[in-house]
Amino acid sequence: MIFTSLEFVLFFALVFAVTRVLHNSSAEKWFLLAASLAFYMSWSVPCVFLIIFTSVVDFSIARHLSQTTDPIRRKRGLQTSLILSLGLLGLFKYSNFLLENLHALCSLLGWKAGPWHLDIILPPGISFYTFGSMAYVLDVYYERIPPCQSPRDYTLFNALFPKLLSGPITRGGELLPQLEQRVRAGADDIEMGLVYILTGAVKKMVIADQVAPHVNLIFSNPAQFDGLTLLMGLLGYTAQIYCDFSGYSDIAIGCARLLGFRLPENFQMPFSSRNITEFWRRWHISLSRWFRDYLFLPLEIATRENRYPALRVSINMMVTMLLCGLWHGPSWNFVIWGGIHGLALSIHKLWTIWKPTAALKNHRPYQRVAACGSHLLTLGIAIFPMIFFRAPTFASAMAYLHRLFAWPRTGTRLDSPYILGAVVALFLTHLVVRKDRNLPLELPKISLPWRIVGYSSLSLVLVLLGASDSSPFVYFQF
C-alpha cells in the first residue's frame, strides 16, 4: 500500500476510526501495533519478523545498559547492538554489492570465478528503522534518554506505519514520550494533519507523478535527446525527487498527527539555501541530523587532538558524506554523489574559516553579487550530482554528463509541459515564499474564509491536475 492509493485511504480511515473509539490507552497501542505490522506485511510478510527481532533485541540491550554501571559490560552491550544492526543492514542491503566488487577485483587480477550473487530480498524500510533503533540504543548508552519500559511501546516506536518505510527518521526521545503519555489528537491536530496530507498529495500526485514518465524517458536513452532536453530531464528529476520525498514526508507527518503523534519536519525549502551547509540543514533533515549527531560529531571528538583542525573537519565531513551516499543504496553512483557533497561541504567549511573576502563584507554591491552567486552555486551543487543519483550505472551517468556539457543541437527535443510547469512552480515558490515558512503549520491559523479558499484551491489542483496512476515513492528503494 502506498500512501496515495485507495487501499491505504481505506486502511487509514479504518485505523483512525478505531483509535477514536478506543478509550483505553493500552488497547489503542496494541491496535496501532497490529495495524502497523499489517501495513508492513502488505509489502513483505517474512520481513515483519526482522523488525520484531530488531525491536526485541535493542529493547533488551537498552534495558541492560540502564541496569548496569560496569563500563565494560555497557560497552559490550552497545557493541553487540551496533554489530547486529549494521550486520543485518549489510547482509540484506550490501552483500551483493560487496560480492560484485570482489568478483570484479578477482577478474582484474586474473582469477577466474563465476558471478557471485545471493538470492536475498531487501526488507522495505530497513535503512530507516535500523537507524532509528541504533539512535535509541546510543541515546540510552550515553544517558540522553531513559530506556523504554514497555516492549510493546518500543516495537510500536520502530514499526509505527506512517514513518516506517521512508521516515522521517524519528528518535526515541521524540516519539517514545508521546507513546507513554499518549495524548489524543484534538480538533487543531486533525485540521493540521489534513493540511499536511493535502499538501503532500499535491506535491506527490500533481508534480512528482506527472513529471516521472518524461524524466524516465529522458534518462532511459540520453543519447537520443538534445542538450536542452537533457537539462530539462535533470531539472525535472530534481523536482520529482524533492516533491516525491517531501510529499511523502508531509503525508507521513499528517497521518501521524491525526493519530496524535508529532513527527519531526523533514524538508524546509532547501532550494532557498545560500550555501551547501544550509542546504543540508533543510534537505532530508532527519537524516542530516542523524549523520551529524551519530557519525560526524563522534569523529570530531575522536580526532580532536589533530593539530590541523581545518583538515580534520574536512576529512570527517568527507567520510560522513561518503557513508551518507552509501546509505542511499549499494552503488558507486551514490558514493560519488555523497563524495561530491562531502567535497562541497569541506570547501565551504574552509571558506568560512579562512574568510578570504572578509574585507568586502560591508560593501553593499559585493553583498548582492555574493548572495546571488552563492545561491546559484548552491543550486548547481545540489542539482548536477543528481545525475549520479538517478542514472542506473556510473557509465550511464558519465554519458549523460558528457552529452549535457557538450550541449548537442542534434537529437530529439522533448517539450514537456509537466517538467516546465514543475520547475517554474518550484522556482517561484522558493523565490517568493520566505524560506522559514511552513504552509501546513500556518494555514490552519488564518481566518476561516481564507482557510476555506486555501483548502479549496489545493483540493481543486489535486483533482484537476493529479496523476491518475501513482508511482511508488522514490525513497522506498533506500
Q: Does residue 377 sit in the same domain as residue 328?
A: yes
Q: Does residue 252 sit in the same domain as residue 362?
A: yes
Report in angstroms the alpha-carbon separations of 199 from 10, 380, 401, 427, 478. 19, 27, 33, 17, 23
Find the catalytic residue in 64, 328, 341, 348. Answer: 328
CB environment 34-49: b (16+ within 10 A), e (fewer): ebbbebbeebbeebbe
10 domain-assigned? no
What cell was used for 197?
Answer: 496530507
Q: What is the pTM of this model?
A: 0.92
CA atoms within a 13 Å half-sphere pointing along the CA-CB vector of 460: 6
DSSP 8-state assignment for residue 385 = T
11 domain-assigned? no
CA atoms within a 13 Å half-sphere pointing along the CA-CB vector of 416: 29
What cell was used for 154?
Answer: 518500543
Residue that terminates a domain, selected from 168, 184, 200:
184
**Structural domain count, the chain:** 2
3 domain-assigned? no
Task: Give the other-Cβ count within 10 Å of 15's Cβ.
Answer: 22
Residue that terminates a domain, selected from 162, 184, 206:
184
What cell was used for 449?
Answer: 474564509
What cell was used for 315?
Answer: 576529512
Q: Does residue 168 sit in the same domain as residue 223?
A: no
Domain containing 60: what range? 33-184
Q: Does residue 161 sit in the same domain as residue 76?
A: yes
Is 214 labeled as catalytic in the residue annotation?
no
Q: Does residue 324 sit in the same domain as residue 266?
A: yes
Residue that terminates a domain, selected from 184, 213, 238:
184
pLDDT per residue, tens digit, the chain (478 aa), is 888 888 999 999 999 999 999 988 999 999 999 999 999 999 889 899 999 999 999 999 999 999 998 999 999 999 999 999 999 999 999 999 998 888 888 888 888 777 788 888 889 889 999 999 999 999 999 999 999 999 999 999 999 999 998 889 999 999 999 999 888 888 999 999 999 999 999 999 999 999 999 999 999 999 999 999 999 999 999 999 999 999 999 999 999 999 999 999 999 999 999 999 999 999 999 999 999 999 999 999 999 888 888 889 999 999 999 999 999 989 999 999 999 999 999 999 998 888 777 667 777 776 778 888 899 999 999 999 999 999 999 999 999 999 999 998 888 999 889 999 999 999 998 888 888 888 888 888 899 899 999 999 999 999 998 887 777 777 666 6
